[in-house]
Structure 1
Amino acid sequence: MDASLIVVVVVITALIFDFTNGFHDTANAMATSIATGAFRPRTAVTIAACLNVVGAFLSVEVARTISGGLVDEALISPVVIFAGLVGAILWNLVTWYLGLPSSSSHALFGGLIGATWVAGGAGAIDFDAVLNKIVLPAVLAPVLAALIALTATYLAYRVTARSEPGEVSRGFRHGQRISSSMLALAHGTNDAQKTMGVITLTLITAGTLAPGSGPPFWVVLTAGLAIGLGTYMGGWRIIRTLGTRVSDLHSTQGFSAETTSTAVILASSHLGLPLSTTQVCTGSIFGAGAGRRLASVHWGVAGRIALAWAFTLPSAAVVGAAASWLAATGTGGVVVVAVGGIALSAGIYAASRRDQVTADNVTDLPQPPPADVPAAPAGSDVAA
C-alpha cells in the first residue's frame, strides 16, 4: 500500500478513536452534575464538548510523551499504529456497550503495545516508560483520587453540618456547574493529547516529522474537534453507570468528586503523564460516595469496573497484536483489518439500539432527593 495513503488511513482512524474517546468519556466530567440536577443532560454534554476543544490547546506535554516515549518509532511503521488503533477502538465500543467506564487511554496504549510487539519485538517497547508512566499511575491515581475525594466530602459535611440543608444543596449545585466545567476542560488537556501523540508518532514513522517533534497545529485542531464532537454525542450508558449506579450522590459529593478529579488530571497533564481520566473520575466518585456515612455505595459495581480496568490494556493489546500480524501480510491484510473492524463496530452499534440509552432516559433510575440529608447534630452525617 502506498505510504502516503496508509498515513491518511491512520490519521482518519486516530480521529475515529478520538471520537469514541469523547463519547466514552463524557461521563467523566458530567455524570455527577447530571445525577444531582446541576445540569440538564444535553446542556451538560454541550458544555463539556466545547471545553474539551478548548482544553486540547492548553498543553502538548502528554502528546510528546506518547509520540516519543513509549515505543521506538524507528522499528515500527504507520501500519503498526493503524493496527493498534483498531484494537483500541473495538475495546472502547465493547465497554461502552456494557456501560463500563473503562480507560480509553489504556485501550490505546494496549493496542499500540500489542501491535508494536508483533512488528518490532519486545525491544521496540520501552517497558520502563510503560511501568512508570502507565502502569503505576493506573494503580495509584484512582486510589489517590478516592482518598482525596473522601476527605474533601467528609470536611464539606463537617463544615456545613449546622447549615440549612436546602441552602447547602443549592450552593453546591451551583458550585458543580463550575467544577464540572473545569473537569471537562482538564479532560481536554489530557485525553485529546493522546490522539495528537499517536498522529504525531505516525508522521514521525513516515518521515514527515523529525523525531522528537511536537504535534503540528492542524493535529491539535482536528484532535480537539474530534473529541469534542464525540463528547457532544453523549456516552449515555456510561453516564448512567457513574451518575446513578455507583452511589446515591448528592451535590456536596458531586462537587467534591469533580474538584478532586480536576486537580489530579491537570497535575498529570502538566507533568506529561498520560493518566486515565476515567480511572481518576471513577475513583473520585467512589471516594465521594464513601465520604458520607449514610450514602449507599454499590461496591458490586466497583468490582465490575475494576475488572474492566484490569482487562483493558491486555485485551486491547491482544486485538492490536492480531491486527498487526494480519496487516503485516500486505495490502490485503490491511483491508481485512479495516473491514473486520468496521463490521464488528457496526455489530456493536446495532446491538446497542435494542437497549438504547438517551438524554431522556439516562437518569431513569431512582435519584437522590433534591436536598442533601437534613443536618443532624454535628458530625452525624459524615464518614466515621
Structure 2
Amino acid sequence: MTLRADPEARGIKTLDKDLRRISLMEQALVFTSRPLVGSGVALAFLVLVGLVAAIFMGAAPGTLVVVAAAVIGGYMALNIGANDVANNMGPAVGSKAVTLVGALAIAAICETAGALLAGGDVVRTVSRGIIAPEAVAAPQHFIWAMMAALLAGAMWINLATWVGAPVSTTHSIVGGVMGAGIAAVGFSAVNWPTMGTIAASWVISPVLGGATAALFLAVINHRIIYRDDKIAAARVWVPILIGVMGGVFATYMALKGISRIVSFSLGQSLLIGLLVSVPLALLMRPVIRRQSEGLENRNKSLKTLFAIPLVFSAALLSFAHGANDVANAVGPLAAIVHAVQEGGAAEAVAIPLWVMIIGALGLSFGLVLFGPKLINIVGSEITRLNAMRAYCVALAAAVVVIVASWLGLPVSSTHIAIGGIFGVGFYREWYHERVLKESRDLSALPVEERTRRKVVRRAHLLTILAAWVVTVPAAATLSAGLFLLLVAVTGSA
C-alpha cells in the first residue's frame, strides 16, 4: 500500500524553505545597506550644517557662499574624525583594554569637549604663514582659495581613510592652502622655509615617536616583564609609570589643551606636571597592590594593571586632539565667514561659536560613522599590541609633542602616534632576535609567508609612508585645480 505524504507536513516544509529564503534575503539586505546608513547620516548632518549657517547668516550678502563653505567644513570635520581620531583610540582597542563601542563613546565625548571647551579661538587665516597675507588681496579670490583648500583637504583625507592610511590633517590643509595660493598668485607667495620645516616633520615626527615608544617599552621589559617575580616588580614600577603618565598629560593639557581657558608657560606647565605626577604615583601604590593580589606571575596578569591608565590616556589624547585639530576643519571656514562679513582677509580672526560647534560635532559623527576601519588598522593590523605596548605609544605621543613644542620642532601628532606603533613593533623584532636569541629563520618559507610572520606588517608601512609623502603635493594639486575651477565657474578672474 502506498503511503501518501501528509499535506500539512508538506505545507510546513514549504513554509520553512520560504522563511529561510526570506531570512537570507534580509541578511543580504542588511549587509549591503549597512554602508549606506553611515553615508545617509553624514548627508543629513551636512544638510543640517547648511541650514544652521543660513540661519546665522540670515539675508546678509554672501550667505550662499558661507552656506557652501559650512557644508564643506562639516565634510572636512567628518573626515578628520574618521581618520585622525583612530591614532588616539586605536592602541587602546587593539590591546583590548576597551571595546570598539566603548572607544567610540569615549572619543566622541572627549573630542567634542576638547573642541568646545579648549578649542583655539584664533586662527591665522592665511594658512598660518604658508601664504603671505598681502598676496591674496582680492576678497573673492581669498574666499575661493580657502574654499578650495578646505575641499581639497577633505577629499584627500576621505581617500586616505578609504584606502586605510592614517594621514596628517594639518598637512592636508597646509597643502590645500599652498596649492590654492600658488594657483591664485604664483609660487612667490609661498613661504618656502615654512614648507621646508613641514617636510622635515615627515621624518622628525615618526622617528621621535618610534624611538620614544621603543625606549618606554625597553624600560618595561627590563624592569617588569623579564623579571623573575613580575608581580612584585609591577607593584614597584607601575605606580611610577602611572605617575609619569599623569604628569606628562597634566603638562600636555596645561601647555596645549586648555589654552583657550588659561595660558601657561612651558616652565609653569612642567611644574603642574610635577605636582600631579608625585602625588599620583604615591596614591596608586596601594591601588596597584590591591589589584595585583592573587594574580599569576605571567605577562597576561600585567595587562590588567595597565588597562585603566591606557583608557585614561586615550581619553586625554582625544580631548587634546579635539582642542587642537578642530581648527583644521573650521579655521578656513571662519576665515571665509570673516572675509564675507568684513570684506577681506585678516591676520587673525575669532572662530564663531556656531562654527566651532559644527567642527566639534563633525569630529564625533565622523569618528562614530567611519572611524572603526582606521581604528582596527591602527590598533591591530600594523603590529600586535597589548596594554603595555599601547601604553608606551600613548605616553610617547604626549612626551614628543611636549618636547617638540619646547624645541620649536614641526611635528605631526598623527605621524608621532603611528611612528610609536611601528617603533614598539620593530623593537620587539630586534629584542627577540638579538637579545633573546630566538630562532626565527624563515628563509625556507615563501616570501609571502615570511612577510606574514614578521611582527610588523610591511605592507601597511609602505602604504602609510607613501600616503604621508604624497599628502602635501596631492592636496596642493587638487586644491589648485579646484580654485581654478571655482574662478572659471564664477567668472571672478
Q: TM-score, normalised by structure 1?
A: 0.78
Find the aligned partners of 2:483 and 2:461 in 1 and give their Cα distance: 33
Task: Write out aligned runs for 1:246-265 (5 A).
Answer: 246-265=382-401
Please identify, of 251-260 and 181-190, the stretch whose mean Cα deviation from structure 2 is larger.
Answer: 181-190
Q: Displacement of 1:110 after TM fit? A: 1.4
Q: Displacement of 1:9 after TM fit? A: 1.4
> Are the counterparts in 2 of residues 194 and 274 from structure 1 also a CA contact under 8 Å?
no
Q: Could you say which residue in structure 2 is the equivalent of 1:126?
A: 191
Q: Could you say which residue in structure 2 is the equivalent of 1:13?
A: 72
Q: Could you say which residue in structure 1 is the equivalent of 2:132?
A: 72
Q: Displacement of 1:272 after TM fit? A: 9.2
> Are the counterparts in 1 of residues 123 and 349 from structure 2 also a CA contact under 8 Å?
no
Q: Could you say which residue in structure 2 is the equivalent of 1:336?
A: none
Cα 1:287/1:66, change in 2 over 3 Å: farther
Q: Over alpha carbons, which structure has the higher Rg?
A: 2
- 1:157 matched to 2:221? The reply is yes
Q: Displacement of 1:51 after TM fit? A: 0.8
Matching residue within 173, 182, 195 for 1:108: 173
- 1:300 matched to 2:360? The reply is no
SS at match of 2:84: helix
Q: Displacement of 1:252 after TM fit? A: 0.8
Q: Could you say which residue in structure 1 is the equivalent of 2:204?
A: 140
Cα 1:282/1:66, change in 2 over 3 Å: farther
Please identify, of 67-76 and 170-179, the stretch whose mean Cα deviation from structure 2 is larger.
Answer: 67-76
- 1:97 matched to 2:177? The reply is no
> Are the counterparts in 2 of residues 189 and 266 from structure 1 also a CA contact under 8 Å?
no
Q: Could you say which residue in structure 2 is the equivalent of 1:233?
A: 369
Q: Displacement of 1:216 after TM fit? A: 3.2
Matching residue within 243, 254, 270 for 2:379: 243
Q: Could you say which residue in structure 1 is the equivalent of 2:90?
A: 31
Cα 1:198/1:269, change in 2 over 3 Å: farther
Cα 1:272/1:144, change in 2 over 3 Å: closer
Q: Displacement of 1:266 after TM fit? A: 5.7
> Are the counterparts in 2 of residues 83 and 111 from structure 1 also a CA contact under 8 Å?
yes
Find the aligned partners of 1:61 and 1:287 in 2 and give their Cα distance: 35
Task: Write out aligned runs for 1:360-379 (5 A).
Answer: none
SS at match of 1:213: strand
Q: Could you say which residue in structure 2 is the equivalent of 1:343?
A: none
> Are the counterparts in 2 of residues 246 and 286 from structure 1 also a CA contact under 8 Å?
yes
- 1:286 matched to 2:422? The reply is yes
One-letter amino acid matched to 2:348: G
Superposed CA RMSD in Å reads 2.7
Find the aligned partners of 1:299 and 1:267 in 2 and give their Cα distance: 29
> Are the counterparts in 2 of residues 105 and 274 from structure 1 also a CA contact under 8 Å?
no
Find the aligned partners of 2:404 and 2:103 in 1 and give their Cα distance: 24
One-letter amino acid matched to 1:54: A
SS at match of 1:102: coil
Task: Write out aligned runs for 1:337-376 (5 A).
Answer: none
Q: Could you say which residue in structure 1 is the equivalent of 2:335?
A: 201
One-letter amino acid matched to 2:81: G
Matching residue within 159, 169, 189 for 2:303: 169
Find the aligned partners of 2:211 and 2:201 in 1 and give their Cα distance: 15
Q: Could you say which residue in structure 2 is the equivalent of 1:53?
A: 112
Cα 1:119/1:3, change in 2 over 3 Å: farther
Find the aligned partners of 2:408 and 2:150 in 1 and give their Cα distance: 21
> Are the counterparts in 2 of residues 191 and 277 from structure 1 also a CA contact under 8 Å?
no
Cα 1:79/1:324, change in 2 over 3 Å: same
Please identify, of 229-238 and 304-313, the stretch whose mean Cα deviation from structure 2 is larger.
Answer: 229-238
SS at match of 2:488: coil
Find the aligned partners of 1:212 and 1:304 in 2 and give their Cα distance: 36
Find the aligned partners of 1:288 and 1:172 in 2 and give their Cα distance: 16
Q: Displacement of 1:62 after TM fit? A: 8.2
Q: Note the alpha carbon deviations across 1:27-81, whole angstroms, 9 max, x for none.
A: 1111111111111101101111111122223252884486542223440421121
Q: Displacement of 1:183 after TM fit? A: 1.7
- Where in structure 2 are there 5+ consecutive unaligned residues? 1-60, 231-296, 433-453
Q: Displacement of 1:200 after TM fit? A: 2.9
Cα 1:30/1:254, change in 2 over 3 Å: same
Structure with more helix by fraction: 2
One-letter amino acid matched to 1:289: G
One-letter amino acid matched to 1:69: G
Cα 1:46/1:235, change in 2 over 3 Å: same
Cα 1:118/1:212, change in 2 over 3 Å: same
